Structure 1
Amino acid sequence: MEEIRESKLILANALYFKGAWSEKFNAKLTKDKDFHLLDGTSVKVPFMTNYKDQYVEEYDDFQVLRLPYVEDQRQFSMYIYLPDEKDGLAALLEKIGYKPGFLDNHILRHRVSMDDFRISPKFKFSFGFEASDVLKDMGLTSPFTRGGSLIEMIDSPSVAENLYVSNILHKTSIEVDEEGTEAAAVSVSNLVTMCWSPKSDFVADHPFLFTVREDESGVILFMGQVLDPSKH
């Protein structure tokens, strides 16, 4: 990119995550089914499934599914927030935005038996954007001005006086399949209670939100929405 070739200094930060499901999906059970889009049409995409109990909870107008990864020194999980209505993702995102601690208040600890369990997050996509304006709108302006907060990073005063951040480029990619999740992000600055319960359904056949979260700290590594899993 032209912006990078002309840069005097590049600050780069990278995050890579590869997690295997604690209970992998059997690829032989993956079948193409209809995924309903926001415009009322549908596309055929591969849906993963299994016959095991799952971490699923039903709320007033949405469901949450937790898919744990193999536990190492930390416990990571993918969470899928599925609105009841096929076009309900916008309303769900609005609710998440104005209710503090929404995601932390919907952490699942109990497994339930499943009747119809199908999830469509067998997908792969990438997304990139220029993040400077977003940070400026949040009040972070000093790095973008000459002689700002970057002066102490450079030994040469003459160079430091003219050093500023011209743009910040961010790119994220994620791939989910029967084995688990592989994801990367790069930013460049120029007790279980045992009781009987009825079986649940969880069919992610319309747009939903997903996160990849470290469950001990609550840190969210990745967040995104799946609108059309047929587009790679």
Structure 2
Amino acid sequence: MSKFLFARISIALLAAIVTLTSVSCSGAASSNLNPKPSQTTTKPAALKIVVNSKLVEANTRFSFKLFSEILKQDGKKNVFVSPSSVAIALSMAYNGAKGETQQAIAKALEMQGMSLSDINQSNANLKTSLESSDPAVQLTIANSLWARKGVDFKPEFIQRNQAFYAAEVTSLDFADPSAPTQINGWVKKNTQGKISEIVDDIDADQVMFLINAIYFKGKWMNEFDKSQTADQPFTLADGRQKQHPMMSQRGDYRYTENQQFQAVSLPYGKGRTSLYVFLPKPNSNLADFQKTLTAENWQTWMKTFSKREGSIQLPRFKMEYEIQLKKSLSALGMGIAFDPLKADFSNLSETSTRIDEVKHKTFVEVNEEGTEAAAVTSIGIRATSAQMEVAPFSMTVDRPFFCAIRDNKTGEILFMGAIVNPA
């Protein structure tokens, strides 16, 4: 049967963009993009970094809710998203929201009960923790804020994004034809070239782009032997078979299984981050498995992994994915943020604005060496006017499967996907 070898996913970038727009920019005063630090805003602690488990738990719940909604749109094709990218982008925009709009975003992000300062400081600490995770794993998180010249923004909004998200702030002439090129250049640089474009053009109503980019590149703790990679049959969801390169390996892994699936954790570097692969058993399928894919079940499954000898066969694959998230986020309770009559982003600017679109792009490659992945989220805001011995396991990923890249120390899920066709 097919042998699927997951090899290189350099988690290239998670980029999140918030595009803000205004009804009328004429006559507006120049933007205050570099306000003086206020007495009420503190920068993240530099010494002892404590990751807030409430934020990670909220991100986990948001991840699976968002993934479930995305599958309603694209359940019959390959899906690969970065919920962390979307969450960071929305958290940055959250600083500009007010009233019911802010509450709706908090609900979608599962952050009810957390204050704005808690959310910001927790995101800052999580960023620091993730970036210092493993010398054998490259993980960088970069943020930037691109503001239209001549438009006023609330100093507190700019300052919080600088202090807690380390956002690079640039005042840009959006009427200049080269403006999109400058923004896309930053995206390309901070995603190591895996995502080269997120802004096609800039409308007259657009006043801001708030971008988050995350890049990950990790080598397997135990690389796959390329000489063991061979074409094997992979069975598609409709029963058809195709030949595809499958990687093979044998050793000791963190592994779990039940009546529904087999699952294995393949570590990168020194083991802090791993690729988790969930393979539905022959008497089940990926669609049935996805119905059980909740934050609660995920936490339960994570506790059942234990060291076990076995063999793993994984497909080598590379793919790109793109989706508009407005529909999915509205289903999670954020609809008011898109409503031109109700959206309230008055903590961002005096200009009445709303979120117009949320575009998400990803890239992922898995090979014998490791993993590379990239994600960009573009949020457009438009003006409104004791162990027992067990037998070795054998796991052949030769049919549609689910996978996720997780930081094992914090529990943060960086990427997740459903692979129905590795080609």
Q: Is 1:24–2:223 an aligned residue pair?
A: yes
If the length of structure 1 is used for normalisation, what is the TM-score?
A: 0.85
Q: 1:195 offset after TM fit, Å?
A: 4.9
What's 1:178 paired with? 368
What's 1:113 paired with? 309
Superposition pairs of residues 1-232 of structure 1, within 5 angstroms: 4-6=201-203, 7-71=206-270, 75-85=272-282, 88-97=285-294, 100-107=295-302, 109-114=305-310, 116-120=311-315, 122-146=316-340, 148-154=343-349, 157=350, 160-161=351-352, 163-190=353-380, 195-230=388-423
Per-residue CA deviations over 1:19-41 (Å, capped at 9, x if unaligned) read 11111111111111000011111
User: For residues 260 and 288 of structure 2, what CA distance do their matches in structure 1 show?
Assistant: 10
Q: Secondary structure at the match of 1:101?
A: helix
Q: 1:201 offset after TM fit, Å?
A: 0.8
Per-residue CA deviations over 1:79-135 (Å, capped at 9, x if unaligned) read 1110112761111111224xx521122225432222x53112x11111111111221
User: For residues 131 and 207 of structure 1, what CA distance do their matches in structure 2 show?
Assistant: 24
Over 3 Å counting, the alpha-carbon distance change for 1:134 and 1:4 in structure 2 is farther
Contact 1:119 1:203 in 2 (8 A): yes
Contact 2:256 2:305 in 1 (8 A): no
- Give, as a single letter, the amino acid of the residue that structure 1 aligns with 2:368: E
Runs of at least 5 residues in structure 2 that lack an aligned partner in the other structure: 1-197, 381-385
Contact 2:229 2:248 in 1 (8 A): yes
Q: Secondary structure at the match of 2:290?
A: helix
Please give the root-mean-square deviation of Cα atoms over the aligned residues, in Å. Answer: 2.2
Number of equivalent positions: 217
Contact 1:63 1:83 in 2 (8 A): yes
Contact 1:86 1:206 in 2 (8 A): no
Contact 1:104 1:218 in 2 (8 A): no
User: For residues 144 and 67 of structure 1, what CA distance do their matches in structure 2 show?
Assistant: 40
User: For residues 320 and 232 of structure 2, what CA distance do their matches in structure 1 show?
Assistant: 23
Q: Secondary structure at the match of 1:48?
A: strand
Q: 1:229 offset after TM fit, Å?
A: 0.5
- Give, as a single letter, the amino acid of the residue that structure 2 aligns with 1:28: S
Contact 1:131 1:170 in 2 (8 A): yes
Q: 1:78 offset after TM fit, Å?
A: 0.8
User: For residues 187 and 55 of structure 1, what CA distance do their matches in structure 2 show?
Assistant: 32
If the length of structure 2 is used for normalisation, what is the TM-score?
A: 0.48
Contact 1:19 1:70 in 2 (8 A): yes
Q: Where is the helix percentage greater, Structure 1 or Structure 2?
A: 2
Contact 2:260 2:284 in 1 (8 A): no
Q: Secondary structure at the match of 2:354?
A: coil
Q: Secondary structure at the match of 2:292?
A: helix
